Structure 1
Amino acid sequence: MNEVTEFIIGIDLGSAGLIGGLAKRDPAGTTQLLAIRHLPAKSEIRRGVVHNVEVVASQIKELLALLLASQHLDAKVVRVNIGMNGYSLRSVETRSVLPFSGNERLLDSHLDDLKDDAQNGLPEGYEPMDIFPQEFLVDGKPDLNPVGTMPLKVEGRYQTVIGRPFLSKGLDACFESLNMEYTPILGPLATAEAVLRPEEKKRGVAVFDFGAQTTSLIVFKNNIIRYLAILPMGGEQITKDLQSANLDAQEAEQYKLERGSALHYADQLGDEEGDQGLAAISDQEKEFNEILVARVEEIVENLYVQLHYAGVELPKLTDGIVITGGGSRLKDLSTLINKKTGLNVRIGMPAKGFSSLPEGVELGPEEALCAGLLLLGQKACLAPFKPVEAPKPSTGSDQQPDGTDVKPV
């Protein structure tokens, strides 16, 4: 089957909704965004994990139809890039050692053996999802490119991303029912691709992605992924907490989006407003604010703890923290994170990686993961439908002049 090589599809299976994107890649390697479409989730994706295969497969099919219709494409979807964003994903430090004679040249195949061996002995109940080299030690000394050396011993150190097997089982079942392939891409990696500049990855930076039911982080230093984790907490918990103050779900969500702040009122008001400003705020508003801030502070505190697992001193994250995802729109969230970490914080907007966007489309932080899937996707996602061959016209050799069939003697 001849593939339509220039088209790439990515889908972010979020707990709050599905976001699908269609892009076109030209021969020079630049990527043009053609369409972004949203579908509200039906509560069957929970903390990044497929819960109901039939419902999620149906929504994926609906979303793909919307993307193709947006460009009037008469083609078949053969592959989709999917963000892996389940709550059990995290990276762990792994190591592997190979002995040598000192007379043998180290080859690329030896590095492959090191990498494979480093994925053994993982925590029980987890499987490897990806692996990122950190450094190599040749006879105990760091070596950025050990291939070609003749060591007595070489050691590889890695960050191996692990996850529970159920993360991929649900996706396998979905795409088997749809009769198409999928390419799994780590969600935090895709998000980082969409919002970071290359120089930020070198100087040192962390990305926090605030979702509905999960919050992820990924840390870069010297162009190396130093740590990755996904936490089972997000914006939906804030909404549910507010419902405990006698708000229904819609009212709680509206308060969070329109009047919510990540800071206590006392911290929001300047010295000039002081006690007088606080007195003007109703007790009910203060209660809502305290409930919201308590949960946001818990999420930020957990992210702060996770940052230290990266093994990079915070001051060495020269480019600070980039926040993205729908939750990053919460008022004063950047200020809260800055106060906690002492690092500069900015909101990551994902449009930078595309050569052009559709007219009237502006990508927001909630679309960063989907955008990254389109930028990282390598394989063609569409193939033309095979035309139905028309019946061959009769040559007349099998018929009498009057049209009657020739019967064998």
Structure 2
Amino acid sequence: MAEIKDFIVAIELGSSKVTGIAGQKKPDGSISVLALVREDSSSFIRKGVVYNIDKTAQCLTSIVKKLETQLKTRITQVFVGVGGQSIRSVKNTIVKDFPGDCIITQEMVVELMDANWGLDYPDKKILDVAEQEYRVDTQLQMDPVGIRANHLEGNFLNILERTSFFQNLNKCFEAANIKVADMYLAPLALANVVLTEAEKRSGCALVDIGADTTTVSVFWKNVLRHLVVIPLGSNNVTKDIASLQMEESDAEKMKLNYGSAYTDNNDIDPEMKYSIDSDRQIEARRFIEIVEARVEEIIENVRYQIPAEYYDKLLGGIILTGGGANMKNIEVAFMKYTHVDKIRVAKFVTATVNSSIEQIRSHNGMYNTVLGLLIKGDINCAGRDIDPNGNLFDEEEHEEQVAPERRPRQIHEIETGTIRTAQEEERAAEEARRKKEAEEAAEEEMRRLQEEEERRKKKEKSLFNRAKKWLEGLAAPEE
């Protein structure tokens, strides 16, 4: 492969694997995947959350170096997906009343958004905010700007993660000396590339079945309405099979070879046995019961996590993706246990993707999230060429690598699904501080003016009373 001067790099940290991908965006909107690297992460990432910073940093360093080897070009920065067990959504409402009818301005809406971002959740960080409807007096509006009213109510869906988990993720990239161009909320990056506009508009639930977690994202009227990560995934099926006294590696093979999310009772041969290895077998019925019990539990948890107010609005149905969605008859099982008739398995992204890499061409849903991160990336990650005669793994850089910088973004320019950088958070905090100081100064000036007015009135009253007494004295009859 010749040296490439322009490409984007994305990294997804999953429970079973860390995946690095590099690709180019073509003028026609298609994506060309140039390199793909994956490494096992089961020893340092659990349920999508980093718990061993050193091992994760080593893995990230290895992935970047392997990508550089394939690309023959240095990587200056990467885009990163944020997901994992602790992510969940919480609704919040901010209300503002006005003294009289006025026309709602963008500044008024921004004030509500700023107030929402300023909320403090103990031990949790707001990663992202999805605007819901605004209530203008008694009417719900998606865009309230320009409407005359005296009451404005902003409804927001705050996406939270435990602060310590988010800090650990950042520490991993710092320890690996890898610059992060942007962090994206992985479930939304995935939704952008596997859901159609019609599905998001009419109402749908995106279910991403991973190794240790299952992520449920509910959309209606093109707006994210609910997001939750369930701590159950396809690995739970493997572990249940392994309880039949076999190694997990053998259980995984059996799951892939024989596993079915649903089997009609009439189709089960009571005499059939499945081979564990050349010496051992297990009754097919027993195996089927174990697999189906765990799959049913996962689906029931998914069903429970879809808010009741949207359950009957899922006209777009349920869309399944991720490695766990490859299990045989998974659609049938979801229909049976959720009572939703419209089930679709998203095996690949909706964008046009070209690649000679077999894992990408297999269209098995396992790389949809990292492809979504790649497609969302918007800054060149390519550095200088690698000298073929030099030492690629020499840690002493003789030339400073300068990563392209994006222009400073205003806080309200940041798209939904993009996590604010530390600098942007600092700028937002500084703006909030200045605004608070200005409000306090205005209140102090108002108090000063009010006190002066009260003193003036007291003085006038005092002079009036003295004059009144003097006049009364003059008018008093002499004895």
Compute the TM-score of the two structures, normalised by the length of structure 1.
0.84
SS of corresponding position for 1:280: coil
Pair 1:193–1:5, CA change in 2 (3 A): farther
SS of corresponding position for 2:36: strand
Larger radius of gyration between Structure 1 and Structure 2: 2
User: What's 2:348 paired with?
Assistant: 350
SS of corresponding position for 2:354: coil
SS of corresponding position for 2:350: helix
Distance 2:87 2:142 in 1: 28
Displacement of 1:357: 2.9
What's the RMSD between the two structures over aligned residues? 2.4
Question: Contact 1:206/1:217 (CA < 8 Å) preserved in 2?
Answer: yes
User: What's 2:365 paired with?
Assistant: 365
Q: How does 1:110-125 map to 2 (within 5 A)?
A: 110-119=108-117, 121=119, 123-125=121-123
Question: Contact 2:203/2:218 (CA < 8 Å) preserved in 1?
Answer: yes
Q: How does 1:285-300 map to 2 (within 5 A)?
A: 285-300=284-299
User: What's 1:258 paired with?
Assistant: 257
User: What's 1:278 paired with?
Assistant: 269
Q: How does 1:46-125 map to 2 (within 5 A)?
A: 46-72=46-72, 74-78=73-77, 80-102=78-100, 104-119=102-117, 121=119, 123-125=121-123
Distance 2:32 2:294 in 1: 39
Distance 1:103 1:6 in 2: 53
User: What's 1:243 paired with?
Assistant: 242
SS of corresponding position for 1:291: helix
Displacement of 1:82: 1.7
Question: Contact 1:205/1:319 (CA < 8 Å) preserved in 2?
Answer: yes
Structure 1 residue 339 corresponds to structure 2 residue 330:
no
Distance 1:200 1:229 in 2: 19
Displacement of 1:280: 2.7
Displacement of 1:36: 2.5
Pair 1:334–1:152, CA change in 2 (3 A): same
Code of the residue aligned with 2:320 in structure 1: it is I
- Out of 176-185 and 199-208, give the one that drifted further: 176-185
Displacement of 1:210: 0.7
Pair 1:388–1:92, CA change in 2 (3 A): closer
Pair 1:32–1:102, CA change in 2 (3 A): farther
Distance 2:207 2:338 in 1: 13
User: How many residues are aligned here?
Assistant: 374
Cα deviation digits, residues 177-209 of structure 1 (max 9, x gap): 223332221121122122112222112221111
Cα deviation digits, residues 207-253 of structure 1 (max 9, x gap): 11111111101111111111111111111121111121112111111
Distance 1:377 1:100 in 2: 41
SS of corresponding position for 1:331: coil
Cα deviation digits, residues 292-331 of structure 1 (max 9, x gap): 211111111000000125x3133x2122111111111111
SS of corresponding position for 2:149: coil
Distance 1:140 1:90 in 2: 29
User: What's 1:273 paired with?
Assistant: none
Code of the residue aligned with 2:19 in structure 1: it is I
Displacement of 1:76: 3.2
Cα deviation digits, residues 44-82 of structure 1 (max 9, x gap): 01111111111111111211222232232x22322x222
Displacement of 1:388: 5.4
Identity of aligned residues (%): 30
Distance 1:110 1:188 in 2: 30
Structure 1 residue 171 corresponds to structure 2 residue 169:
yes
More helix by percentage: 2
Distance 1:124 1:264 in 2: 46
Distance 2:270 2:79 in 1: 52
Pair 1:201–1:6, CA change in 2 (3 A): farther
Question: Contact 1:235/1:327 (CA < 8 Å) preserved in 2?
Answer: yes
Pair 1:101–1:181, CA change in 2 (3 A): farther
Displacement of 1:374: 0.9
SS of corresponding position for 2:367: helix
Distance 1:278 1:190 in 2: 43
Question: Contact 2:203/2:316 (CA < 8 Å) preserved in 1?
Answer: yes
Pair 1:148–1:188, CA change in 2 (3 A): same
Question: Contact 2:7/2:25 (CA < 8 Å) preserved in 1?
Answer: yes
Structure 1 residue 152 corresponds to structure 2 residue 133:
no
Distance 1:70 1:219 in 2: 38
Question: Contact 2:134/2:155 (CA < 8 Å) preserved in 1?
Answer: yes
Pair 1:264–1:76, CA change in 2 (3 A): closer
User: What's 1:189 paired with?
Assistant: 188
Question: Contact 1:130/1:160 (CA < 8 Å) preserved in 2?
Answer: yes
Displacement of 1:5: 8.8
Q: Can you give the 5+ residue segments of structure 1 that lack an aligned partner in the other structure?
A: 270-276, 390-409
Code of the residue aligned with 1:280 in structure 2: it is E
- Out of 323-332 and 195-204, give the one that drifted further: 195-204
SS of corresponding position for 1:128: strand
User: What's 2:224 paired with?
Assistant: 225
Displacement of 1:107: 2.6
Question: Contact 1:265/1:286 (CA < 8 Å) preserved in 2?
Answer: no
Code of the residue aligned with 1:350 in structure 2: it is F
Q: Can you give the 5+ residue segments of structure 2 that lack an aligned partner in the other structure?
A: 274-281, 386-396, 401-479
Distance 1:106 1:358 in 2: 53
Distance 1:29 1:151 in 2: 43
Code of the residue aligned with 2:206 in structure 1: it is V
User: What's 1:209 paired with?
Assistant: 208
Pair 1:359–1:13, CA change in 2 (3 A): closer
Distance 1:170 1:264 in 2: 43
Code of the residue aligned with 1:172 in structure 2: it is N
SS of corresponding position for 1:101: strand
Question: Contact 2:112/2:154 (CA < 8 Å) preserved in 1?
Answer: yes
Code of the residue aligned with 1:279 in structure 2: it is P
Pair 1:69–1:204, CA change in 2 (3 A): same
Distance 1:243 1:168 in 2: 33
Pair 1:358–1:110, CA change in 2 (3 A): farther
Displacement of 1:25: 2.3
- Out of 180-189 and 224-233, give the one that drifted further: 180-189
Distance 2:294 2:13 in 1: 24
